[in-house]
């Protein structure tokens, strides 16, 4: 089962994109911090980042708030689709 932080990112990202089936969220521990990597379909990257990066900032705020609530540290990285 995914952590609450990954679940929040996945639900928010699926609501934003045109192809929700292509949303993948991967968690990796790194030096005491959980890195949440978000990958979406090729054409949906802009929708997740938003104008001036506002949506990306909002997603990072959600990650920080959820992580703090659960007593962990987490960061969000938005990856380009391969």
Range of the domain at 12: 4-79
Q: 20-71, pLDDT tens digit by residue?
A: 999 999 999 999 999 999 999 988 999 999 999 999 999 999 999 999 999 9
Question: What CATH number should be reported for the domain holding residue 27?
Answer: 3.30.300.20
Mean residue pLDDT across the chain: 93
| Residue 2, pLDDT score | 74
Count of domains in the chain? 1
75 within 8 A of 36, measured Cβ to Cβ? yes
Handedness of CA 15, 23, 43, 52 (dihedral sign): positive
């Amino acid at each position: 089962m995914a952590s609450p932080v990954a679940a929040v990112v996945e639900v928010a990202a699926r609501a934003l994109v045109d192809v929700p089936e292509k949303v993948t969220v991967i968690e990796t521990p790194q030096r005491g911090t959980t890195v949440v990597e978000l990958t979406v379909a090729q054409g949906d990257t802009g929708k997740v980042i938003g104008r001036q990066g506002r949506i990306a900032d909002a997603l990072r705020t959600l990650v920080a708030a959820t992580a703090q609530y659960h007593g962990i540290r987490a960061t969000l990285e938005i990856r380009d689709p391969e």
